Structure 1
Amino acid sequence: MPSLFDPIDLGAIRAPNRMLMAPLTRGRSTDGHVPTSVMIDYYRQRAGAGLIITEGTGISREGMGWPKAPGLWTEEQVEAWKPVTEAVHAAGGRIVPQLWHLGRLARPAVIGMTPLSSSAIEAPYIPGKPTPYTLPRAATIDDIRRVIDDFGTAARNAIRAGFDGVALHGANGYLIDQFLRDSVNHRDDDYGGAPENRIRLLIEVVDRLIAEVGADRTGVRLSPNGETQGADDSDPESVFVPAARALAERNIAFLELRELSPTGTFGNSEAPKLSPAIRKVFPGPLVLNQDYDATSAQADLDSGVADAIAFGRPFLANPDLVERFRRGAALNSPDTRTFYTDGAKGYTDYPTLEESVAA
């Protein structure tokens, strides 16, 4: 069986190892969602990952409801991403943006308008968040067509900015997930009701991304088990297994699953994992994500349920995570106080193993 350090082809992207950097929102862009110079160093430092999947990157003003997260819908944003991708490539890395529409989780104070969702159902308030969410409006067919176009434009912009492909954020209770799950999607048209209707937007967006960048440069993230940010489903296997089968038919570059566990640190659930069922219908590169360490990651490669593993917070605090795992070295601990603050502190100042030894 392969090890974490063996290469893998993710479609057209030749990853030198099977340790992907999972998307991590950090809020270091400008108020106008333009990447900043400190992001160049951040991503360059982590170029040792088999593939970097960037933090969630907005496809439009409407969908970008997180302060200071980056976007890919303006020319200024495209130009600001270019030195980031150039730095990663110069360091021998590969990088794709995670294309993101928050749907009902976008706050009007950030986007300047009423948020959009599958149905007019307000997301539950999460303690610790600054304000409750707002009642969204249900997307019309014209809205859906416009959103698909926005994903297409962002994908074209990603290639222009020098990215190696794109990754669609279809997970974690955001817009695509709001169409997939019946706790949020109460529609009675072609995008609601039966599972084949609820997966329709996901597949139409993926088809547009494929038309823009190719199937072999298109990845997808799903979160098939448990409740996330108010999004849940009464029978997730009936939705996510057909979705995975449809993605397999399109020969996408990879499918990433963020699966909750009973003891998850950032979200947990008793709902059974669907990766074994999805593995049966998705023969392409399957990437798993959630609270992995080196031992558990290798175990899932050995079992065949996964072809690669995506690591989030370990990469956040350890720019040289691959080398640390290779040597069995200790890891830096992430500083939660600086996850979403400005500047380099807690962002680009985590020491590498070599720097720690020298100190």
Structure 2
Amino acid sequence: MKLLEPLDIRNIQISNRLVLAPMSRMQANEDGTVSERMPLYYSNYARRGVGLLMTEALYTDKISGRAYFNQPGLCTAAQRDTWRTVVSAVHDMGGRIFAQLQHGGRLAEPGLNPQHIAASDGIAAGNTWQTGRPNAAARAATTSEIKQIIECFERAASYAVEAGFDGIEIHGARGYLIDDFLSASTNRREDEYGGSLENRLRLPVQIVECVRGVVGKRPISFNMSLYKMDDLSYTPPGGEAEMTSIASALETAGVDLLHVSTRKALRDEQWGEPLVKVIGAAVTRARVIANGGLKTLDDCSQCLALPGVEAVSLARALLSNPDWLSMALERRPLETYVPGMEREALRIA
């Protein structure tokens, strides 16, 4: 069974193809440091057989980068030091763990950051997911601020290396800042960071390149999606060809894994094929992680049969079933995800 086979990614080996997807749990300390239960929470998944763990999104700066209240960060030495306890606990259970780095951008909770910046001036549609308030107006980041954002990702990646993480994942999905720059529907800039696909790719590529410079031989993953938190039906103007170009550019920049997030991984997009299949065909060296609506062993097996797809990531299924792997293999009934579970206290069972 492919799901149980080990996977080599650059210089590390993952014991199997099952990945814990990043899940916003909102239970860090107010200063972004790791709370007391977080080492047990993450190591519990490693103990129960999940081969690779992705942390929830970690903010990379305190000025404009936080996305939600009680979000953990990786932009101070104090935050770095508390993450060492998590990494050590996961390694003690034989697991591997990546730090997912994020900038909240226009989707940040109102009033959370001193500055509310985005690719362009504007307001994201609808309400925020954490507090349910209307999204706040954001202004376009200046070129000087873009440079600072890149430097913050570089510093956070350096802290991740010092904390002992096995790799880095860059959050480039769902309408947050990097995806905001990448998407034609939200990036209306007229400088070198907007307009053509080449220009819209500039920020993601520069972040990948600077992270590669500090993580050395550790693997880099890039989380990508079509849908946004405020636009579930977004399709790029260039369709399938545009997604192929994005994947190729990220691979060339130094990405080892493309973590493809969708609402449903096996669903055909407007061009007639699943997004993960398109991305898998677009890359040669990088591997693809499929994410989106995967609940059962059969779902995972179907994804892993697609060309280029080498791993699957689960969120809600693992949240409601920390023992998902053994339960699925033994064909035991799985608990159903109940909306709001991610807001509950961390499960350490």
Structure 1 residues 262 and 86: CA distance shift in structure 2, 3 A: closer
* Cα pair 1:11 1:254 within 8 Å, conserved: no
Q: What do the CA deviations read for 1:74-132 (whole angstroms, capped 9, x no partner)?
A: 12211111111100000100001110111011134222x23111000210123874311
Q: How far apart, in 1, do the equivalents of 2:203 and 2:320 lie? A: 35
Structure 2, unaligned runs of 5 or more: none
Q: Could you tell which deviates more after superposition, 237-246 or 42-51?
A: 237-246
Give the secondary structure class of the aligned counterpart of 2:133.
Answer: coil
Match for 1:54: what amino acid?
Answer: T
Equivalent AA in structure 2 for residue 32 of structure 1? D
Q: 1:242 to 1:270 in 2, by over 3 A?
A: closer
Give the Cα–Cα distance (whole angstroms) in 1 for the partners of residues 256 and 245 of structure 2.
18
Q: Given that residues 265 and 275 in structure 2 are in contact (C-alpha distance below 8 angstroms), is that contact kept between their aligned partners in structure 1?
A: no
Taking structure 1 as the reference length, the TM-score comes to 0.88
The 8 Å contact of residues 215 and 250 in structure 1, kept in 2 or not, is answered as no
Among 314, 317, 320, which residue is 2:320 paired with? 317
Give the distance between the partners of 2:245 and 2:266, measured in 1 at CA. 28
1:122 maps to which residue? Answer: 123
Residue 308 of structure 1 aligns to a residue in which SS? strand
Residue 293 of structure 2 aligns with which residue?
Answer: 291
CA distance in 2, matches of 1:236, 1:138: 26
Rounded Cα–Cα distance in structure 2 between residues aligned with 1:299 and 1:278: 16
Distance 1:104 1:226 in 2: 15
- Which residue matches 2:73? 71
Q: Which residue of 2 aligns with 1:39?
A: 38
Give me the whole-angstrom Cα distance separating, in 2, the residues matched to 1:136 and 1:19: 37
String of CA shifts for 1:235-288, please: whole Å, max 9, x gaps: 343432212101222452211101234999xxx986753333222221221111
Corresponding letter in the other structure for 2:348: T
Letter in 2 for 1:104: R
CA distance in 2, matches of 1:146, 1:237: 32
Note if contact 1:195-1:238 (Cα within 8 Å) is conserved in structure 2: no
Aligned to 1:240: 243
SS at match of 2:2: coil
The answer to whether 1:13 aligns with 2:16 is: no
Following superposition, the deviation at residue 302 of structure 1 comes to 2.1
| Partner residue in 2 for 1:282 | 283
The percentage of counterpart residues that share the same residue type is 30
Work out whether residues 265 and 303 of structure 2, in 8 Å CA contact, stay in contact via their aligned partners in 1. no
2:202 matched to which residue of 1? 200
Q: Which whole-Å deviations, capped at 9, do the CAs of 1:212-247 have from their partners, x for residues lacking one?
A: 103642111100x34542483333434322121012
Name the CA distance, whole Å, in 2 between partners of 1:103 and 1:85.
Answer: 27
Paired amino acid for 2:219: R
Equivalent residue, structure 1, for 2:330: 327
- CA-CA distance at 1:199 after TM superposition: 0.9
The 1:37/1:227 distance shift into structure 2, 3 A limit, reads: closer
Corresponding residue of 1:139: 141
- Find the counterpart in structure 1 of residue 222 from structure 2: 220
Instruction: Provide the C-alpha distance between the structure 1 equivalents of 2:269 and 2:175, rounded to a whole number of angstroms.
Output: 14
1:352 aligned partner: none
253-262 or 82-91: bigger deviation: 253-262
Q: Which moved more, 1:310-319 or 1:120-129?
A: 120-129
- Alpha-carbon separation, structure 2, partners of 1:189 and 1:154: 27
Instruction: Kindly indicate whether the alpha-carbon contact (under 8 Å) linking 1:257 and 1:288 is maintained by their aligned counterparts in 2.
Output: yes
Kindly report the root-mean-square deviation, in angstroms, between the aligned alpha carbons of the 2 structures: 2.2
Which residue of 2 is the match for residue 354 of structure 1? none
Equivalences for 1:126-205 in 2 at 5 Å? 126=127, 129-205=131-207
1:227, 1:269 within 8 Å by CA — same for their partners in 2? no
- Counterpart of 2:59 in structure 1 is 58
**Deviation per CA, 1:301-327, whole angstroms, max 9, x where unpaired?**
223251111111111122222222222
Q: Is the 8 A contact 1:12 1:253 kept in 2?
A: no
Letter of the 1:259 counterpart: T
Whether the 8 Å CA contact 2:22–2:55 is kept in 1: the answer is yes
**Alpha carbons of 1:138 and 1:304: their partners in 2 closer, same or farther (altered >3 Å)?**
same
Length-normalised TM-score, structure 2:
0.91
After TM superposition, give the deviation of residue 12 of structure 1 in Å.
1.9
Residue deviations 1:47-71, cap 9 Å, x none? 1212101111111112112111100
**SS, match of residue 112 in structure 2:** helix
Per-residue CA deviation, residues 193-223 of structure 1 (Å, 9 max, x unaligned), is: 1111111111000001100103642111100
SS at match of 2:194: coil
Aligned to 2:97: 95
- For 1:42 and 1:303, how far apart are their aligned partners in 2? 32
Residues 109 and 174 of structure 1: CA distance in aligned 2, closer, same or farther (over 3 Å): same
Higher strand share goes to which structure?
2
In the alignment, is the contact (CA less than 8 A) between 1:261 and 1:269 conserved in 2?
Answer: no
